[in-house]
Amino acid sequence: MKNFTRLFAIVIALFMLATVAVGCNKDSDKEEGKKESKEIQVGIVLPTKDEPRWIQDKTRFEDALDEAGYTSEVLFSQGDSAKEKTNVEALIAKGIEVLIICPHDGAAAAASVEAAAAEGIKVIAYDRLITGTDKVDYYVSFDSISVGKAQAQYLVDKASGKKGQPLYLYAGAASDNNAFLFFEGAWTVLQPKIADGTFVVANSTEAITLKDKAKLSREELGKIIGQVTTDWKPEVAKSLAESNLTSAKADAKGEVLILAPNDGTARAIADTFKSDTAVTKFTVTGQDAEVPSVQYIIDGKQSMTVFKDVRTLVKDAISMAKSILDKKDVDVTAKTNNGKKDVPTKQTEVVTVDQANVKAALVDSEYYKADEFQNLK
C-alpha cells in the first residue's frame, strides 16, 4: 500500500511538472507572438500604386531598409483618406517605431499621425506636408515652391515674346498641400507676365481677377486651384482640357503655354491640345520624370519635366528613420510651418529637364537605363 501511495505521488508530481512546462511553453509562445507583432520597425504609407513614381518609392524603401537591417512594411492608400487611416492603424498594431507617410490629404492625415504619436511613434511626413497638427516630428521633401518656379520659368523662357500669348493653368489636387506650394511658386514667376499683358490666362476667371496681386493668400490660391484642379488624375486633366478648348475663343489658341502640374496630367493635356488643329504650337510643363513622359520629351510631345531625384528623397527619409531608431540626432536643413508648428525639414533640390539635357540628367546619372527609351541621343 505504501508503495502504491508513493507511486501515486510520483505520478501526480510528474503531471504537475508537465502542466507547468506546457504553461511555460504557452507563455513563451505568447512572448514570441508579441515579438512577431512588434517586428515591423518602420511603417510606410504611400498615396497610390497607380503611378510609377510611388511604385519606385516602395521598391527603394524596401531595398534600402532591408539592406540597413531594418524591417518595414509599405501600404498604399489609393487616394482614400479612410483607407490611409486604416493603414496607419494596421501599422500601429504591428508595433512600428517610425511612421513615414505621404498623405493623400494633408489635413485629413492629422488624426492618423496623432494616433501614432499617442503610441510613442515618431512621424515623418514624406514629400507632402501634414497640416493642422503638432504631432509631425519631421518633414522630408523637395523644395515644392522651387518646383513651381522652375515650371513657370520654363514657360517664360520659351514664350513667343508677343503680347497676349494664351496661358492655360492647371493644378494638382485641392486636398494636397503640395499642389498649393507648386502653384504658389509658379504664380510668383507668371504673375508679372500676366499683369503686364504678356500672357493672357485662358481658363481661369479667378486668375484674371487676381492678376495684379503678386502674393496670394491661401484662400485666393484655393479659388484659382478650384477652377483648374486636375486632382492629379490624367482623365480629369483630359476632360478639363477638352472643356477649356471647346469654350476657348480663337485668340486663345495658336501658340499657347500650358502649366501642367505633373507628368501624368501633362501627357493627357498635351495629347488633348495636340488634337486641336487650331493650336499651332504648345509648351507644356511636367514633374516627376516618369518614363512615359521622358519618352514624350524625347519625341517632342512634352516640353519639360521637373526631375526630383527620388533616390535622394528616399535616402533622406531612411536616414531620418535610422537616426530615430538609433537614438541619434536627425539631420535637417530648414523648418516648414504646417499651421501648428515649425516642422524640422530636410529639403532636396530639383532639376529642370528637357531635350537638351535629358540624357545627362536621367541616363548618365544612372537614374534610368538608356534602353528604356527610343531615339535617345
144-308+353-372: CATH topology = Rossmann fold (3.40.50)
Q: How far apart are the first and last CA of the chain?
A: 101
C-alpha cell at 6: 508513493
Q: What is the pLDDT of residue 79?
A: 87
Q: What is the pLDDT of residue 354?
A: 98
Q: How far apart are CA 165 and CA 256, in angstroms?
A: 6
Q: How far apart are CA 358 and CA 372, in angstroms?
A: 13
Q: What is the pLDDT of residue 2?
A: 45
Q: Left (φ > 0), alpha (ψ -120 to 50) or beta: where does 34 sit?
A: alpha
Contact (CB, 8 A) for 125 and 138: yes
Can 42-136+310-348 and 144-308+353-372 be said to share one CATH topology? yes
Contact (CB, 8 A) for 170 and 261: yes
| CA of residue 49 relative to chain centroid, distance | 11
Helices (H), the chain: 2-37, 52-67, 81-93, 110-118, 144-158, 177-195, 205-209, 218-228, 234-247, 263-274, 291-299, 310-325, 358
Q: What is the pLDDT of residue 310?
A: 85
Q: What is the pLDDT of residue 31?
A: 39
Q: How far apart are CA 143 and CA 106, in angstroms?
A: 17
In the chain, domain spans: 42-136+310-348, 144-308+353-372
* pLDDT tens for the chain, residues 1 to 377: 445 455 445 545 545 544 444 444 444 443 333 334 447 999 999 999 988 889 989 999 999 999 989 999 999 999 899 999 999 999 999 999 999 999 989 999 999 999 999 999 999 999 999 999 999 999 999 989 999 999 999 999 999 989 999 999 999 999 898 999 999 999 999 999 999 999 999 999 999 999 999 999 999 999 999 999 999 999 999 999 999 999 999 999 999 999 999 999 999 999 999 999 999 999 999 999 999 999 999 999 999 999 999 889 999 999 999 999 999 999 999 999 999 999 999 998 899 999 999 999 999 999 999 999 999 98
Distances (CA, A) of 42 to 39, 53, 100, 255, 293: 9, 20, 7, 50, 32
Distances (CA, A) of 175 to 131, 145, 308: 11, 17, 21
Which CATH number does the domain 42-136+310-348 belong to among 3.40.50.10140, 3.40.50.2300, 3.40.50.9100, 3.40.50.20?
Answer: 3.40.50.2300
Model confidence, pTM = 0.75
Please give the backbone phi and psi of residue 24, each rounded to the nearest 5 degrees, phi first. -60, -40
Q: How far apart are CA 154 and CA 282, in angstroms?
A: 12
Q: Which residues contact residue 331 at a Cβ distance below 8 angstroms, ignoring those fewer than 6 apart?
A: 319, 320, 323, 346
Q: How far apart are CA 165 and CA 302, in angstroms?
A: 19
Taking Cα atoms as reference points, which of 140, 167, 189, 180 lies closest to residue 261? 180
Q: How far apart are CA 99 and CA 126, in angstroms?
A: 10
Please give the backbone phi and psi of residue 337, each rounded to the nearest 5 degrees, phi first. -80, 130
Q: Which residues contact residue 169 at a Cβ distance below 8 angstroms, ignoring those fewer than 6 apart?
A: 201, 203, 204, 207, 224, 228, 259
Contact (CB, 8 A) for 76 and 57: no
Contact (CB, 8 A) for 285 and 151: yes
